[in-house]
Homo-oligomer: A and B are copies of this chain.
Amino acid sequence: MTSSDPATPAGAEDLPKSFSVHAVTGLPEFHHGDDLVGHLPALEDRDIVVVTSKVISKIEGRLVAVGDGEEERQRAREDAITGQTVAVVAQRGPTRIVRNQLGLTMAAAGIDASNVPNGVIALLPEDPDASARRLRAAIRRRLSRDVAVIITDTVGRPWREGLVDIAIGVAGITPLRDLRGTLDTHGHPLAVTALAQADEIASASELVRGKVGSVPVAVVRGIPWQDGEVAASSLIRGGETDMFSLGTRDVVPATASGAGAGIAAPQQIEAALAAVPEVDGVSTSYAAATIAVHSRIDSFETGVYVGKLLVALRAEGLIGSVASRDPVQIETTVAAAYQGRPVP
C-alpha cells in the first residue's frame, strides 16, 4: 500500500482462524559448532521455527569461561554485563537495566548464567538477525522447507511484573504487522496500530518452551506471514521516540558521569531549555553548543535554575558544564555515559 492509496477496508488483516504451537522435545545439550537443523522435527512449509537465543549462543560459541563457585560465577557475570553495556538506563541496588550492544534494553544486558553448563556464562548471539537468516537458509537447503525463524530472549517490563519472551532475531516474517491507514469495522482509521507480531509469537512460544531449559525450540503452525527482509532490530525504539532512555531516579546521578563527545544538536538544547520550569527574571539564549543564562535574580536562585537545566540537558543526552558566571554560560556536548562510545 502506498501513502496515496485509500485506507484499506476493514477485514484486510490476513488473520488465521486458528494456529498451534508445538514444543520440540528431546533435543540434546548443544555445544559450539553443533548442528541444530539435524535435530529439528518434521517441518511444513510456512511454519515458524522459534529458538531461544541461549541455544544459538551455545552453537555459536558465545560462552565465557568463569571460575568455579557461585560467587566467582556472579562476579564474572557482572564483568560480562559491563562489557556488553552501551548505556546504563537505570540502576537500583543490584539491578542494572542497560542498553546492550544489540540496542536491546534489558536487565543484566541479556547476560545469563542459567541453562548453561558449570564453568561458563552465555552472551547473546553477536547478530541474532544474521543467526536467524542462517538457520532459515540451512532449513531451506537441507530440509527443503520454506519457514520463518524467530530467535527469542526473555525480558522484564518497566510497569509489569513478570518476564515475557520477545523476538531479538527474525528471518522471513516481518516483525511488525502494520495496520496504519486501515479502517476498523466502524470506518474509523486505526491511527497507531502496528502490532509487534514477532514479539507476540515469541511470547506464545514461551508457553511451551518454559524456562527450565529442556525445550529450547518450538514450532508455530498456521500463522500466515509475508516474506520480508525486515530485521528484528527494527523493533528497537531509540532516539526521539525513546522517552525512557534513563530511569526516573537516574537522571540526576547521570549528570556526574562521563565526559562528553560530539556536538549537541540545537533541538536537544531547545528541548532541555523548554523542560525547565520558567523563573521570573531569567532568560536564556544559545549559539552553537553554548547556552547563556541571563539572570536578574540572585546567585542562589540562578544556581537553582542552572542545576535543573543541567539535569534537563542530561535527560536530552547532553553533558553541560558551567564555563563562565556573568552571564552564566553553559557549554554542552553530547553525553558519553556510554562506556566511552559517542552517541551516533
Which A residues fall within an 8 A CB radius of B?
A: 10-13, 15-23, 25, 29, 90, 92, 97, 99, 104-105, 107, 113-118, 154, 157-166, 175-176, 179, 182-197, 199-201, 203-204, 206-215, 223, 234-238, 240-253, 255-256, 271, 275-277, 298-312, 315-316, 322, 325, 328
Contacts and interface: CB of A to CB of B under 8 A. Distances in A.
A237 B234 CA distance: 27
A19 B211 CA distance: 17
Nearest to A196: B162
B161 A234 contact: yes
Contacts of A236: 159-161
Nearest to A191: B114
B253 A275 contact: yes
Given A113-B188, A161-B236, A246-B248, 15 more contacts: A11-B214, A17-B23, A17-B25, A90-B244, A92-B243, A115-B188, A158-B237, A159-B236, A160-B235, A165-B200, A182-B212, A249-B275, A300-B300, A303-B304, A307-B308
A319 to B, nearest CB: 12
A200 B203 contact: yes
A187 B29 CA distance: 14
Contacts of A175: 162
Please tell me how many copies of the chain the complex holds: 2
Contacts of A308: 252, 255, 307-308, 310-311
A196 B160 contact: yes
Nearest to A185: B213
